[in-house]
Chain A
Amino acid sequence: MSESTQVSPTTVPADVLANPRLGSWISVTDDGLIGVRVGKVELGQGILTALAQIAADALGVPVALVRMLAAHTQLGPDEGLTAGSMSTAQAGVALRHVGAAMQTLVAEAAATTWQVPLDHVRVTDGSVRYGERSASFVQLARTVSLDTDLLSVDLRATRRDVTGQGRAVGSSHARLDLPDKVLGRPRYIADLRPEGLRFGRVIRPPSPGARLDGLDEIKLLGLDVEVVRDGSFLGLVAPSEDRADRAAEELRAAARWSEQDLLPDEDAVAEFLRAGPHDEIEVMSEDGSLEDPPAGASTVSGTYSRPFLVHASIAPSCGVARWDGDTLHVWSHSQGIHRLRDAIVAALPLDPEQVPEQVIVEHVENAGCYGHNAADDAAFDAVLLARAVPGVPVQVRWSRQDELTWGPLASAMVVDVSAHLRDGRVVGWRHDVWSQGHSARPTYAGAPGLLAGHHLADPLPAPAAGDPPLTGGAGTTRNAVPIYDVGPRHVAGHRLNRTPLRSSAMRALGAFTNVFAIESLMDEAAALAGIDPVAFRRAHLSDPRAVEVLETAAELAGWGRDLPDDTGLGIGFARYKDKGAYCAVVAEVAADHEVRVRRLTIAVDVGLVVNPDGVRNQIEGGATQATSWTTKERVRFDRRRITSDDWESYPILRFSEAPLVGVHLIDRPDLPSLGAGEAAQGPTAAAIANAVHAALGVRVRDLPITAAAVVAAIEGEVTR
């Protein structure tokens, strides 16, 4: 035994310190499996499979003995948001600790029962052994008190491995959730059919700032519908989904709204973002960074932008709620169920004495979600509608139109970036980015942040979105600092703090546009210096992991090979959030009468790879989605309404447009795991833009890179 009887608090992961009760994490299910409940949620990214692998190894059981349970505000740990590619890092580290503690407790139970020394009790593959004796892990686990304080379990004394690589970690375990989803079984939130379920619909205002003036006389005859109105919040509850849809049509036709022209000119979004008012974000301003270029240096600069984007999940958002006396039960596909619960409590005039036990939020999966979409809003809609029918569960499913126009947008952004260049080297760098905020998640800025709250007769505040703090990866300025050695740097963000357009977090936040800008300018600088873009980047990199990723991608893509006319290769590279995954993308683009991204060759370093195929799938998907953002997508609006409200007005990448994607993983078994879901987006955009330039000699600086944008860029160069 070691001298210490208590694990030092400094070695205990933060999520375990915050959730020290064993039973929050671990249970034994009725059918004899080890239930593992985390605070992170499955969004289609496969996280629960990766975490099951980690938990299995830490417990000393096979993955088949682990059942991942849905996140739950009352039963499970609070691990904040499932966001920022932090799930493997946070929940994975926590599960290693929790699993080792549980393994210790199970071993102790065996040692006590058998009256043998703990040191020689072995736990492997779901069995507990001492010499000839053995018992099943599950059998012993049933005797462990779920009320055990994890901080009281002495891991050091028993030398249970809390960090090492085990049997499941590192293997491409098949996704645990896919059989249900592929075989057409009920699995998504809209498939919930609790006893007595009714269906709700919300009739949203036609435009931001619209107010409900009144309702014409309506005849909802025979539909048995409960209408709910509170200010400009208008909804209904019906006994069946078809009645809910028919009644919603009638109610929509009967609603009289007054609207205002609040929106900016969609063709002058950059000016809108620059006009302010702004919150200023000073990232860094190194000595000399704002001075004139040194003697003999030339300056290359560019302005790069992207339009507003939407999440465009294939399923519209959905929420289910039921009021049972003092308890409000909510089912949601939120990325942060604890924050959603707090937001609901803040938004409802509940008796403060009775909260928070009164509101319970449980996670249920929905279609892929790529940040803060309308999941939380739909949950709150369900809460408001279900209040009208106590004891009855109400499911609210949004329409496609509402999903594309009322869900939080990903902010448009514009970046001015410039570099001083002398003797083939960058010797000074300036980066200014203008954007709306990238975080308006529930409880942000002291506001509930739930859409319906903005429309109530007594409306809840709706401040402009903020950003995660710089230490938390930032938002507007995420990845605004180049990874390269570029001399004195000045990097600043200018976040619009008054806007009629609601924005929040979407995959990679500001990193997508900042990396697009930086990596485009690096190509422009390389061209000015007359140096190959890969060699130019290489010459400005000192981090060996970065160099290996960059060179690997270039080599695998056949960088420098001969290509047909109108076809080009371009590279983009970044380390996500400056401390996350390294990712280099080489795009092969054919640009004639249209822009076709044929192939993406990607190298990535995510530290220790928990599930290689899972990481590949995330990188492939992230790069493919970024191809869609880069070449097709733009939220459209007039001065009053968002007009891109279906798949024709907001087109996304189709099967025949999807590039081939090859992913090479550089495994680092001794280094911490880093998230993979947001590493590829920025590098992909830059790689495509740089490939278009390589193919045609023309640079498109404003996304999306459509055929029309290429033509406009050519005309711009001709007239310049």
Chain B
Amino acid sequence: MVPVTGTELTVNGDRVVAASDPNTPLLTVLRNELGLLGTRFGCGMGLCGACFVRLDGHVVASCDTPLSQAAGAEVVTVEGLSDHGRPHPVQQAILDGQAAQCGFCISGIVVRAAALLDENPAPDEATVAAVLDRNLCRCGVQRRIIEAVVGIGREPR
């Protein structure tokens, strides 16, 4: 079943052909074949959000998304959110607010929050909290993260 040509997709704006078996989780392809280690493995069951990426705009758990589902699609990972080395506003806000402890959940949270801000540039606390409910944080930094994201919408642009 190993494909002869591989699976074509776009990752962070670059066209790539992934040679991995099409059933391989997208996360494994990103981390190993493509060397994009910013997307983290947390549970492998799509339940913690550490591996969130955007697939044609939708936020998905890359650990339970097979490579085949990304064929022809546009994937954006945490690495693709920074602009020429400038952190995404969510990343900057998290750094400014020191809104992390171990940081392992942060990549997925950044991806999810960035997608929210695309739709709603000034979400309130309840909206941010509800949207991030699929992201787990064990260190207990939820409130700092909510404040950081809400703060972005309040800043004059």
Residues of A within 8 A of B (CB): 43-46, 172, 174-175, 177-188, 190-191, 193, 240-242, 245, 312-316, 365-370, 397, 399-400, 613-614, 617-618, 620-625, 627-628, 646-648, 652-656, 658-661
- How far, in angstroms, from A174 to B132 measured CA to CA in the complex? 25
In the assembled complex, how far is the CB of residue B152 from the closest CB belonging to chain A, in whole angstroms? Answer: 14
A617 touching B101 in the complex, CB below 8 Å, given contacts A241-B32, A658-B143: yes
Contact in complex: A46, B101 (CB < 8 Å) = yes
- Pairwise interchain contact A184-B38, C-beta atoms closer than 8 A: yes
The smallest beta-carbon distance between B142 and chain A, in angstroms, is 4
Tell whether B82 is near chain A: CB-to-CB under 8 Å: yes
Task: Name the contact of A617 in the complex, choosing from B39, B43, B105, B144 (C-beta under 8 A).
Answer: B144
Q: Is the CB of A624 within 8 A of B42?
A: no
Contacts of A368 in B (CB 8 A): 101-102, 104, 138-139
> Are A367 and B104 touching (Cβ within 8 A)?
yes
A174 x B32 contact (CB < 8 A): no
- What are 8 sample pairs from A and B whose C-beta atoms fall under 8 A apart? A183-B82, A184-B81, A313-B104, A400-B43, A620-B140, A621-B139, A623-B140, A647-B43
**Chain B stretch 70-99: residues in CB contact (< 8 A) with chain A:** 77-79, 81-82, 87, 91, 94-95, 98
Cβ contacts under 8 Å, A242 to chain B:
20-21, 24-25, 28-29, 32
Is the beta-carbon distance between B31 and A661 smaller than 8 angstroms?
Answer: no
Give chain A residues whose Cβ lies under 8 Å from the Cβ of B102: 43-44, 181, 313-314, 365-369
| Range class of the B interface residue count | 35 or more
- Neighbouring B residues of A654 by C-beta, 8 Å: 133, 136, 142
- Measured in the bound complex, the distance between the Cα atoms of B45 and A366 in whole Å is 20
**Would you give the shortest CB distance from B83 to chain A, in whole angstroms?**
12
Question: How far is it, in angstroms, between the C-alpha of A291 and the C-alpha of B128 when the chains are bound?
Answer: 57
In angstroms, how far is the closest chain B Cβ from the Cβ of A358?
31
- Whole-angstrom distance between the alpha carbons of A480 and B118 in the complex? 52
Closest to A191 in B: B37
B2-28 interface mask toward A, CB cutoff 8 Å, 1 = contact, 0 = none?
000000000000000000110011001
Known contacts A621-B141, A647-B48: does B39 contact A184 (CB below 8 Å)? yes
Given known pairs A242-B28, A314-B138, A368-B102, the reply for A174 and B143 (CB within 8 Å) is no
B150 within 8 A of A: no
| Contacts beyond the supplied A191-B37, A648-B47: 8 A-B pairs with Cβ under 8 Å | A44-B101, A179-B95, A182-B103, A184-B39, A245-B28, A400-B44, A400-B48, A658-B140
Report the nearest A residue to B43, measured CB to CB: A400
In-complex Cβ contact of B141 among A174, A367, A614, A617 (8 A): A617
Report A-chain residues with C-beta under 8 Å of the C-beta of B55: none
Q: Which of B32, B104, B140, B141 has the most CB of A within 10 A?
A: B140
Q: How distant is A248 from chain B, measured CB to nearest CB, in Å?
A: 11
User: Residue of A at shortest CB range from B36?
Assistant: A184
Assess whether B68 is interfacial by the CB under 8 Å rule.
no
User: A620's closest neighbor in chain B, by CB?
Assistant: B140
- Whether B104 and A655, one on each chain, are in contact in the complex, defined by CB atoms closer than 8 angstroms, is no
**B59 on the interface (CB 8 Å rule)?**
no
A-B complex: 7 closest residue pairs judged by Cβ atoms: A184-B38, A44-B102, A181-B103, A624-B140, A368-B102, A367-B104, A621-B140
- Given A621-B139, A625-B138, A315 and B37 contact (CB-CB distance below 8 Å): no
Residues of the A chain whose Cβ atoms lie less than 8 Å from the Cβ of B138: 312-314, 367-368, 370, 625, 652
The reply to whether B136 and A314 form a contact with Cβ atoms under 8 Å apart is yes
Q: B44 touches which one: A399, A613, A621 (CB < 8 A)?
A: A399
Cα distance A175–B103 in the bound complex, in angstroms: 11
B142:A653 contact, CB within 8 angstroms: yes
Q: Which residues of B contact A370 (CB under 8 A)?
A: 138
A660 to B129, CA, bound (A): 12
Collect the chain B residues with CB atoms within 8 Å of residue A241's CB. Answer: 28, 31-32
Closest CB in chain A relative to B11 CB, distance in Å: 13
A193 contact set on B, CB distance < 8 A? 35, 37
Chain B residues whose C-beta falls within 8 Å of the C-beta of A621 in the assembled complex? 101, 139-141
The majority secondary structure among interface residues of chain A is loop
Interface centre among B50, B107, B136 (most CB of A within 10 A): B136
Residue of A nearest to B25 (CB): A242
Indicate the member of B44, B77, B130, B145 with the most A CB atoms within 10 Å.
B44
Instruction: Tell whether, in the assembled complex, residue B106 and residue A181 are in contact, meaning their CB atoms are under 8 Å apart.
Output: yes
The residue in B25, B77, B104 that gathers the most chain A C-beta atoms within 10 A of its C-beta is B104
Contacts of A647 in B (CB 8 A): 43, 45, 47-48, 136
Q: Are B144 and A655 in contact (CB under 8 A)?
A: no
Contacts of A240 in B (CB 8 A): 32
**Which residue of A178, A400, A618, A625 contacts B103 across the interface (Cβ within 8 Å)?**
A178
Question: Is the C-beta of B60 less than 8 angstroms from some C-beta in chain A?
Answer: no
Question: Does A314 contact B140, Cβ atoms closer than 8 Å?
Answer: no
- A652 and B138 alpha carbons, distance in the complex (Å): 8
CB distance from A616 to the nearest CB of B (A): 9
- Residues of A with C-beta under 8 A to B141: 617, 620-621, 624
Residue of A nearest to B90 (CB): A182
Give min CB distance, B21 to chain A, whole Å.
6
A371 to chain B, nearest CB (A): 12
Are B98 and A656 within 8 A (Cβ)? no
Shortest distance between the CB of A194 and any CB in chain B (Å): 13
Per the bound structure, the CA–CA distance linking A655 and B150 in Å amounts to 13
Instruction: Report whether B95 and A182 are in contact in the complex, using a CB–CB cutoff of 8 Å.
Output: yes
Per the bound structure, the CA–CA distance linking A161 and B38 in Å amounts to 43
Proximity bits, B105-131, A CB within 8 Å = 1, else 0? 111001000000000000000101110
A314 adjacent to B42 (CB under 8 Å) = yes
User: Do B98 and A175 touch (CB < 8 A)?
Assistant: yes
Q: Which B-chain residue is minimally distant from A181 (CB atoms)?
A: B103
A185→B78 CA distance, assembly (Å): 9
Which one, A182, A369, A658, contacts B87 given CB within 8 A?
A182
Known contacts being A175-B98, A621-B141, is A397 close to B41, with CB within 8 Å? yes
Contact A625 B95 (CB under 8 A): no
Residue of B nearest to A628 (CB): B140
Question: Cβ of B105: which chain A residues have Cβ within 8 Å of it?
Answer: 314, 367
The reply to whether A624 and B32 form a contact with Cβ atoms under 8 Å apart is no
- When distances are taken between beta carbons in the complex, the residues of chain A under 8 Å from B135 are 655
Residues of A with C-beta under 8 A to B39:
184
CB contacts (< 8 Å) of A367 on chain B: these are: 102-105, 138
Give Cα A191–Cα B32 distance, bound, in whole angstroms: 9
Given A242-B21, A613-B98, verify A366-B133 contact (CB < 8 Å): no
A622 neighbours in B (Cβ, 8 Å): 140
Q: Which residues of A contact B142 (CB under 8 A)?
A: 624, 653-655, 658
- A-chain residues with CB within 8 Å of residue B143 when the two chains form the complex: 620, 624, 658-661
Q: Which of B35, B91, B106, B139 has the most CB of A within 10 A?
A: B139
**Whole-angstrom distance between the alpha carbons of A177 and B101 in the complex?**
10
Minimum CB–CB distance for A598 against chain B, Å: 12
Chain B residues near A659 (CB, 8 Å)? 143
Tell me, rounded to whole Å, the shortest Cβ–Cβ distance linking A190 to chain B.
Answer: 6
- The answer to whether the Cβ of B54 comes within 8 Å of any Cβ in the partner chain is no
Count chain A CB atoms within 10 A of each CB in B45, B102, B105, B144 and give the residue with the most.
B102
Please indicate which of the listed interface residues A245, A367, A652, A655 has the most CB atoms of chain B within 10 Å of its own CB: A655
In the complex, what's the smallest C-beta–C-beta distance from B4 to chain A, in angstroms? 15
